[in-house]
Amino acid sequence: MSAPENQPPENQPRDRRDRFSCLPPTCRAFLCTFADNGTGAVDGTHAEQCAECAKQHSFQTRLGSLLSTRPISPELLRTTQFAEMLHERIIEAAASSSLGILVANRDSAPIHSSAWPEALLESEVARSTISATPQPSPAMWAKVRHSIMAGVSERRQPRHWRRLLLGITTAAAAAIVSGLVLSNGTTKESTIVFTDLDTMPGVEFAILRYGALR
Amino acid sequence: MPSASILCVIAFSRALTAAAITMMALATSGWGAAQSTTLVGKSAVASGAGQPLVPTLLSLDQSLRTQDFTAIQLRRFRDDQGNVVSVRERLQVDANGSARPGFAVTFLQVEGELPGSATDLKWQQKYAQFASLFYTHGTFRVHELTAAASNYTLHDFGPVVRANRAARRMVVFPATVDKAIWVVDFDSLTGVPLYSVEFDSQLHVLAEVEVLSFTNAVAPLVPALSSTTQHNDYNTAIAFMGGPRQMIDPIVALTSEYQLDRVEVRDDPLNGRQALVMTYTDGVDQFVVVQSPGTPDFFAGLPSMSGGGKSIARYRDPAMSVLLFWDAGVSFHVAGRGSLRRLDDLAQALYLQALSTN
């Protein structure tokens, strides 16, 4: 994949496109020239006049060739022994991780037996499973149906009365609350606080208790 | 209904408290210049005619209505620092068959002070203005017999000698814990209290009166000019005051065992302002509700009163509770014993009554 600055403007990232569109036309033309030509010759006149474009051209000249070729990996990394050693290290790391410990310590799953154990087959559970239950008679079903329908009709009536009572109660509560809110009270609730005095007030009872004002 | 065991515990605790009070009274009876008391031996002194050996509330009530006497007594006042001032006074009582006999309280001297000293003159002025309060509110009396019988019990602690007279020591125990406990030495001959001390529930002494000399006779009393007029009920008193508005007939349901004892109109000699004083009693204890019309708001300008706030000023110590509030030109105050905390609720209720009335 080529460097972003070597891509056509429509393929460049948006920020680069925004910056590119803000450049003067001469700069855009200059940048497109060596984008197309790679490290080839460009218009030197504009490079002499525009410092920014000259810097871009200098970067392109020095780094372009390096970025265009893929570096060769070292010989050691391409050996089979290295790959195996890497593989073992990965396995060791996984074994020492929490998942590896969990997998190593799990109980062994019971062996699935293809046949039922004999004791279970001879138990009451097995006998009741394999034997068919008797079906109730039609008369029985009729009675059951009748009792169910009767219960449903009974619940329907109290539910109706409950709804009516709830509606009346709600209306009464709303009337009371609205009456309290809209009415002008005849008395105003007063909050009275006590203020403690440090000195004895000049009242006759103080004369009585202490004879004279302190 | 409390179980028998609980009643036994209550009775035992009362007896224990009464015994503790008696021991304290014995320990403190030699205070100041008072004469010491001695317990009479096994043989009881014969009581006077008409007086039972062990006083009852009925006999005490009868004594108040029928017995004339003159007593020199010490009245001790205590402050919160524990300082005691003993004032010697002369009490003359001219019984008239009612629960409100004629009386006169005369200042004699302050114990330990020279006559004419600043302290002596100060107390003389106080007695000149408020002496009647000391007898009507500051002495142990059975104000209302039926209420006293319902709210108090008497416990006999045997014969004593007081003011060189045979007496009987009794503890007057209240039915509720928010009232004072009294230890009183009643004269065996006349039933007049010769010594009384008032304790709170923590057994702190609140008031004390000790008779030094006693005679069961009285010289004719000269009616003194009084700034207090008594009335039968609230409406009569209001009419006497000229029908000032914004005053209330207090509803004292919160203190149900208290009943209206007296209604008085007092004139302040300093500013000529009148005050309606209504005294309520449970038979022994008292509290007052005082209404003074035409007074300025003493709470005006306080931050708590901004925005229409209502406030009750409260002062409380072990001896006294005073609650003050103001509404529509009338100042109110409720005053009583310090332990009677129900007065807070009563003051609040009266304030709300005043607000709803005005």
State how far residue A182 is from chain B, nearest Cα, in angstroms. 21
Q: Which of B193, B215, B237 is the last residue of a domain?
A: B215
Q: Is B331 within a domain? A: yes
Are the Cβ atoms of B315 and A200 closer than 8 angstroms?
Answer: yes
Highest mean pLDDT among A6-15, A182-191, B116-125, B276-285: B276-285
Domain shared by B44 and B155, yes or no: yes
What domain count does chain B have?
A: 2
Candidates B275, B292, A203, B334; CA nearest to A213 is A203
Residue for token pair 């001879």 = A122
Are the Cβ atoms of B312 and A195 closer than 8 angstroms?
Answer: yes
The pLDDT of residue A26 is above 90: no
Determine the average pLDDT of the residues in B326-335.
91
Task: Express as a percent the part of chain B with pLDDT over 70.
Answer: 81
pLDDT at residue A183, as a whole number: 56
Token code pair at residue B52: 């039972």
Q: Is A29 within a domain? A: yes
Which residues of chain A are within 8 Å of residue B344 when distances are taken between CB atoms? 194
What domain count does chain A have?
A: 1
pLDDT in tens, A44-67: 688 888 888 888 888 888 887 778
Domain shared by B191 and B249, yes or no: no
The pLDDT of residue B329 is above 50: yes
Q: Is A20 within a domain? A: yes
Which residues of chain B are within 8 Å of residue A214 when distances are taken between CB atoms? 79
Whether the CA torsion B271, B276, B282, B283 is positive or negative: it is positive
DSSP secondary structure, B160-201, as one string:
EEETTEEEEEEEEEESSTTS-EEEEEEETTT--EEEEEEE-T
Angle between helices A25-37 and A51-68 (to 10 degrees): 20
Q: Which of A199, A203, A212 sits opposite B335 (nearest CB)?
A: A203
Are the Cβ atoms of B311 and A200 closer than 8 angstroms?
Answer: no
Reported as a pLDDT band with limits 50, 70 and 90, residue B303 is: low
Domain shared by B164 and B286, yes or no: no
Whether the CA torsion B298, B303, B306, B308 is positive or negative: it is negative
Burial group, residue B332, by CB count within 10 angstroms (0-12, 13-18, 19+):
buried
The set of residues, in sequence order, having a beta carbon less than 8 Å from that of A210 and lying 6+ positions away, is: A200, B77, B78, B79, B319, B320
Whether the CA torsion A24, A26, A27, A29 is positive or negative: it is positive
The pLDDT of residue B71 is above 90: yes
Domain shared by B97 and B205, yes or no: yes
Q: Is B223 within a domain? A: no
Highest mean pLDDT among A9-18, A113-122, B20-29, B192-201: B192-201
β-sheet bridge partners, residue B70? B92, B215
CB pairs under 8 A between A and B: 94
Which residues of chain A are within 8 Å of residue B138 when distances are taken between CB atoms? 208-209
Q: Is A54 within a domain? A: yes
Full domain range(s) for residue B20: 4-215
The set of residues, in sequence order, having a beta carbon less than 8 Å from that of B226 and lying 6+ positions away, is: B132
Candidates B7, B11, B24, B13; CA nearest to B199 is B24
Q: How many CA atoms does the CB half-sphere of A4 hold within 13 Å?
A: 8
Reported as a pLDDT band with limits 50, 70 and 90, residue B37 is: very low
| Residue B64's CATH number | 2.50.20
More confident residue, B18 or A96: A96
pLDDT at residue B186, as a whole number: 95
Domain shared by B94 and B117, yes or no: yes
Q: Is A30 within a domain? A: yes
Q: Which of B77, B121, B297 to mutate to test the interface with A (most CBs of A within 10 A)?
A: B77
Q: Which of B311, B333, B344 sits opposite A203 (nearest CB)?
A: B333
DSSP secondary structure, A15-64, as one string:
HHHHHHHHS-HHHHHHHHHHHHHTTS---HHHHHH-HHHHHHHHHHHHHH
Residues from A in contact with B at Cβ < 8 Å: 187, 190-197, 199-201, 203-212, 214
Q: Is B222 within a domain? A: no
Q: What are phi and psi of A89, to 5 degrees?
A: -65, -40
Q: Is A36 within a domain? A: yes
Q: Is B204 within a domain? A: yes
Are the Cβ atoms of A192 and B311 closer than 8 angstroms?
Answer: yes
Radius of gyration of chain B (CA): 21
Q: Which of B215, B249, B282 is the last residue of a domain?
A: B215
Domain shared by B199 and B248, yes or no: no
* Alpha carbon distance B136, B262 (integer Å): 11
Which residues of chain A are within 8 Å of residue B77 when distances are taken between CB atoms? 209-212
| Residue B305's CATH number | 3.30.200.100
Q: Which of B168, B187, B215 is the last residue of a domain?
A: B215
Q: Long-range contacts of range B192-195, CB-CB < 8 Å, 24 or more positions apart?
A: B192/B63, B192/B67, B192/B69, B192/B71, B192/B216, B193/B139, B193/B140, B193/B141, B194/B71, B194/B162, B194/B163, B194/B165, B194/B167, B195/B29, B195/B37, B195/B162, B195/B167
β-sheet bridge partners, residue B165? B162
Domain shared by B252 and B210, yes or no: no
The set of residues, in sequence order, having a beta carbon less than 8 Å from that of B62 and lying 6+ positions away, is: B50, B191
Are the Cβ atoms of B133 and A194 closer than 8 angstroms?
Answer: no
Which residues of chain B are within 8 Å of residue A201 when distances are taken between CB atoms? 313, 315, 322, 324, 333
Q: Is B201 within a domain? A: yes
Q: Which of B78, B313, B320 sits opposite A205 (nearest CB)?
A: B320
Q: Which of A193, A197, A207 sits opposite B315 (nearest CB)?
A: A197
* Alpha carbon distance B32, B34 (integer Å): 6
Q: Which of A194, A209, A212 sits opposite B344 (nearest CB)?
A: A194
Which residues of chain B are within 8 Å of residue A192 when distances are taken between CB atoms? 310-312, 348, 351-352
Q: Is A39 within a domain? A: yes
Burial group, residue A113, by CB count within 10 angstroms (0-12, 13-18, 19+):
exposed
Determine the average pLDDT of the residues in B321-329.
91
| Beta strand B310-317 pairing with A192-196 | parallel
The residue of chain B nearest to residue A199, with distances taken between CA atoms, is B315
Domain shared by B153 and B237, yes or no: no
Residues from B in contact with A at Cβ < 8 Å: 75, 77-79, 85, 87, 122-123, 126, 130, 133-134, 137-138, 206-207, 288, 290, 304, 309-317, 319-320, 322-324, 333, 335-336, 344, 348, 351-352, 355-356
Which residues of chain B are within 8 Å of residue A186 when distances are taken between CB atoms? none
Full domain range(s) for residue A29: 4-68
Determine the average pLDDT of the residues in A62-87.
84
Q: Is B114 within a domain? A: yes
Q: Is A197 within a domain? A: no
Q: Is B148 within a domain? A: yes
State how far residue A185 is from chain B, nearest Cα, in angstroms. 12
Q: Is residue B175 a contact partner of residue B152, using CB atoms and an 8 Å limit?
A: yes
Calculate the alpha carbon distances from B87 to A79, B90, B111 in Å.
121, 10, 6
pLDDT in tens, B101-139: 899 999 999 999 898 898 899 899 889 888 888 988 888
pLDDT at residue B308, as a whole number: 63
The residue of chain A nearest to residue B358, with distances taken between CA atoms, is A187
Whether the CA torsion A53, A55, A58, A64 is positive or negative: it is negative
pLDDT at residue A144, as a whole number: 83
Domain shared by B159 and B280, yes or no: no
Domain shared by B208 and B235, yes or no: no
